[in-house]
Amino acid sequence: MKFFIDTANLDQIREAQSLGVLDGVTTNPSLMAKEGITGQNNIIQHYIDICEIVDGDVSAEVIAVDFDGMVKEGNNLASLHPQIVVKIPMIEDGIKALKYFSDNGIKTNCTLVFSSGQALLAAKAGASYVSPFIGRLDDNSTDGLNLIEEIRLVYDNYAYQTEILAASVRHTMHIVNCAKIGADVMTGPLSAIKGLLNHPLTDIGLAKFLSDHKKGN
């Protein structure tokens, strides 16, 4: 499973990249705003900065919600750097835009996906990635992991090439369960990625190894 980090924070992106297990970055307008990145020029420069830190795909989201606007904005974003993936919302014009970009060889990430029907449409439109938001479903008393399972089944039935990018991942067990179910990618915060390191028996075992080594020397 690929690991993407879901942030626009450059320090956290650098830290994740330095671990050597990072495959890409996802951002969205809320994450950009959280870092105080506002104004078109700053936003564009920030995407370029992120691409220069990581080796993999970097999702950059369009703000337009009409087909012409999404095509114009998406083409501009895609021209910034070869690693840019154009992030398109799951709306009617978004489906048309996904098809346009797919026909023109530009990678896309279909965002704000909350049902397997939406995921099926995104795959038919040729999306490179589909982003089901599992944490936000959990927030609404609906099991987000069930949706990943359903989409996996649907995509496998027809060998769709669209990669399932589990988004809105909040904690380590989301990551582990996504891996068990067969999500192609997960995007989550640095805390969830680093949380995978933790086990008290590892800490206890290491302390014992080091103290025994000291005794023997």
The reply to whether 6 sits near ligand G3P by the rule CB under 6 A is yes
Q: Output 30 or 157, the one with its CB closest to ligand G3P.
A: 30
* Shortest CB 31 distance to ligand G3P, Å: 7
Tokens describing residue 82: 């070869």
CA distance 6 to 209: 36
* Shortest CB 139 distance to ligand G3P, Å: 8
The reply to whether 187 sits near ligand G3P by the rule CB under 6 A is yes
Stretch that binds ligand G3P, among 14-22, 89-97, 113-121, 128-136 (CB under 6 A): 128-136
CA distance 60 to 18: 22
Among 133, 144, 163, 177, binds ligand G3P (CB under 6 A): 133
Among 135, 138, 149, 172, binds ligand G3P (CB under 6 A): 135
- Burial class (CB within 10 angstroms; exposed 0-12, middle 13-18, buried 19+) of 119: buried
Within positions 11 to 50, which residues make up the interface with ligand G3P, using CB under 6 A? 26, 28
18: CB partners within 8 A, 6+ apart: none
Of the CA atoms within 13 Å of residue 48, those in its CB half-sphere come to 9
Please list, residue by residue across 132-171, b when 16 or more beta carbons sit within 10 angstroms of its beta carbon and e when fewer do.
bbbbebbeeeeebbebbbbbbebbeeeebebbbbbbbbbe
Check 87, 99, 194, 214 and give the catalytic one: 87
Residue 215 is a catalytic residue: no
Q: Output 152 or 170, the one with its CB closest to ligand G3P.
A: 170
Q: Output 195 or 207, the one with its CB closest to ligand G3P.
A: 195
Could you give the residue numbers annotated as active site?
87
